[in-house]
Amino acid sequence: MTDAANEVLYTVADHIATITLNAPERMNTISGPMLNDLARLLTEANEDQNVRVVILTGKGRAFCAGLDLRKERDGNGLSAASSSTTINLRNTPPTVLQAMDKPTICAVNGGAAGYGMDTALGCDIRIMAESAKLAAAFVKRGVVPESGGTWLLPRMLGWAKASELIFTGRTLSARECLDWGLANEVVPDAELMSRTTAIAREIAANAPLAVQASKRMMRMGLNENFHDHVHHVYLQLLPLFKTQDMAEGMKAFMEKREPKFEGR
């Protein structure tokens, strides 16, 4: 069995943080401790100035098969915790993902069901292995998408396609996810991490403050009109004009070389 303290792994290399769900013997279903650890590590990555991109993946044949329901039968599982007045919904992985300025990439290595599907959808980019699937099985279990699916899917797919997926509880193959616009790329299983890392490195090579500001603006733009949005873009541009990275970007362009950004 995997030691409880190691059910979520965290590494940083080349400005890329990789977070790995590490409970393959139960298909990376999310236990209470894993829920807390994942939220904590996502927050840590977002606050670490050395990190520019975050990769989220799973170990084994599944990305995440949902919440760990083994304790639900005795009333001590996550649903019981969720009904408690002490739970802090602001510190759960889905809410942390939506608050992050750092770009997030989900390397979907296998099945992503229920909570696992919503977690994958909460990332900015999804690279899927050919064997991977997204399973919107909530209504087949008598529940609703509790971790953001009803907010994310209408924005990603439009009302009709989101309704089709949520109401039917359908499972989509990786290729279907690509056709539906839920996956950026589908790659052979053996190439998943190398391709995901290549994309992460491409992002990490850019000016990190500009990348993070761009993500903030995209997120804000979902909920404001054009006039307000353009005003907020200008407010983001003003501090960027004063950064060393902008000066380096302009200098590198004039000198016809690759820029070396420092994040300041």
Ramachandran region, residue 74 (left: φ > 0; alpha: ψ -120 to 50; beta: rest): alpha
Q: Is the pLDDT of residue 84 over 50?
A: no
**Helices 208-221 and 244-254, interaxial angle, to 10°?**
110
Domains and CATH numbers, the chain: 4-204 (3.90.226.10), 208-254 (1.10.12)
Per-residue CA distances from 42 to 94, 103, 234 (Å): 10, 11, 29
pLDDT tens profile 56-73: 999 999 999 988 877 555
pTM > 0.85: yes
Whether the CB-CB separation of 185 and 127 falls below 8 Å is answered with: yes
Q: In whole numbers, what is the pLDDT of the chain averaged over residues? A: 89
Query: Quick one: pLDDT at residue 80?
Result: 47
pLDDT tens profile 114-172: 999 999 999 999 999 999 999 998 888 888 887 889 999 999 999 999 999 999 999 99
Backbone phi and psi for residue 130, each to the nearest 5 degrees, phi listed first = -60, -30
